């Protein structure tokens, strides 16, 4: 693995118009160039075989891949562009990550859970998006208002995803806390911490990168990063590599909370960030 001594600016979590992002692939590349990024990775939401409003349609997946590769070629002298997907994991429902990897020749996969499955009924609880009422209603209807059962189902699904699908990067690992915002439970509760430790251990075991993602903060949906900065020192101790990803849905998102997130990572004792390169994973000093 190479380590760069010079700090470079990167982002590997970007959503364009092919999914729920708000601009074209090229508009993001241009914005990244304006902000002096040296590397930009796209991570459109992989097709999910159920009705949804956020993922790339399966018929458009090839167009998405082609568009990223075309921009990679067009801007190759100015910025390194990478082709990835943010793949959902729902047991028995979603496409295996390896199939996605092969069908598109991806550079990497971010594995994320946005829809939590109730094991008995198979019903899905959408825990993301701007609407807190959907979170509250799903917790009530699918888990009988038992927040601990609901949160446990989320973390179990994340853990199974890590072990079974082996994502390169784990996306917003504790997104489940976003709409809770310390209302039904505290992220310092012992039962919650135990669940968090389990998914971090699973990540460490397979050598997955855990991204640090400030989207909840800059969207005003929660006060903390994913994962909360209180977890970073333990992650460092566990040997987990971190990557700083804005989860940009708009070109303006690329730099949001960039410096504050980097500060939190440094304060936790990290001296390097994981980044993607033509040869796979690399580290850069920060």
Closer residue to Zn ion (CB): 4 or 129 = 129
Q: How far is the CB of 88 from Zn ion (least distance, A)?
A: 8
Nearer to Zn ion by C-beta: 4 or 126? 126
Judged by CB, which is closer to Zn ion: 51, or 120? 51
Which residues lie near Zn ion (CB under 5 A)? 86, 112, 247
Is the backbone peptide bond immediately before 227 cis, with ω within 30 degrees of 0? yes
Minimum CB–partner distance for residue 14 and Zn ion (Å): 8
DSSP string, the chain: --EESS---EE--B--TTTT-SS-HHHHHHHHHHTT-SEEEEEEEPP-SS--SSSPPGGGHHHHHHHHHHHHHHTTTT-EEEEEEEEE--TTTSPPHHHHHHHHT-SEEEEE--EEEPTTT--EEE--SS-HHHHHHHHHHHHTT-HHHHHHHHHHHHHHHHHHH--SEE-STTGGGTTTTTSS--TTSHHHHHHHHHHHHHHHHHT-EEEEB-HHHHTTS-SS-BS-GGGHHHHHHTT--EEE---BSSGGGTTTTHHHHHHHHHHTT--EEEEEETTEEEEEE-
Least distance between Zn ion and beta carbon 27 (Å): 17
Between 20 and 146, CB nearer to Zn ion:
20
Nearer to Zn ion, 4 or 160 (CB): 160
CB of 103 to Zn ion, least distance (A): 20
CB of 91 to Zn ion, least distance (A): 18
CB of 86 to Zn ion, least distance (A): 5
Kindly tell me which of 4 and 258 has the beta carbon lying closer to Zn ion: 258
Closer to Zn ion by Cβ: residue 28 or 233:
28
Q: How far is the CB of 25 from Zn ion (least distance, A)?
A: 15
């Amino acid at each position: 693995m190479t380590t760069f001594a010079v700090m470079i600016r990167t982002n590997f979590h970007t959503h364009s118009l092919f999914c729920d992002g708000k601009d074209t692939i090229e508009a993001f590349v241009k914005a990244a160039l304006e902000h002096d990024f040296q590397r930009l990775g796209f991570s459109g939401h992989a097709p999910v075989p159920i009705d949804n409003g956020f993922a790339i349609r399966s018929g458009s997946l090839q167009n998405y891949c082609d568009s990223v590769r075309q921009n990679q070629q067009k801007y190759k002298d100015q910025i390194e562009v990478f082709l990835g997907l943010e793949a959902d994991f729902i047991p028995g429902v979603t496409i295996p990550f390896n199939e996605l990897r092969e069908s598109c020749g991806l550079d990497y996969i971010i594995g994320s859970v946005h829809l939590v499955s109730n094991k008995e009924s198979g019903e899905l609880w959408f825990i993301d998006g701007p609407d807190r009422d959907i979170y509250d209603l799903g917790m009530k209807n699918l888990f009988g208002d038992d927040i601990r059962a609901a949160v446990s189902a989320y973390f179990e699904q994340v853990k199974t995803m890590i072990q079974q699908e082996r994502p390169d990067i784990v996306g917003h690992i504790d997104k489940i806390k976003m709409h809770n915002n310390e209302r039904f439970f505290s992220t310092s509760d012992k039962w919650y911490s135990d669940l968090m430790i389990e998914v971090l251990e699973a990540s460490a075991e397979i050598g997955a990168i855990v991204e640090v993602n400030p989207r909840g903060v800059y969207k005003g949906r929660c006060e903390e990063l994913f994962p909360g900065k209180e977890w970073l020192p333990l992650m460092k101790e566990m040997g987990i590599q971190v990557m700083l990803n804005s989860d940009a849905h708009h070109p303006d998102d690329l730099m949001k909370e960039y410096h504050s997130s980097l500060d939190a990572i440094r304060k936790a004792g990290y001296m390097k960030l994981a980044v993607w390169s033509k040869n796979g994973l690399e580290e850069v000093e920060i």
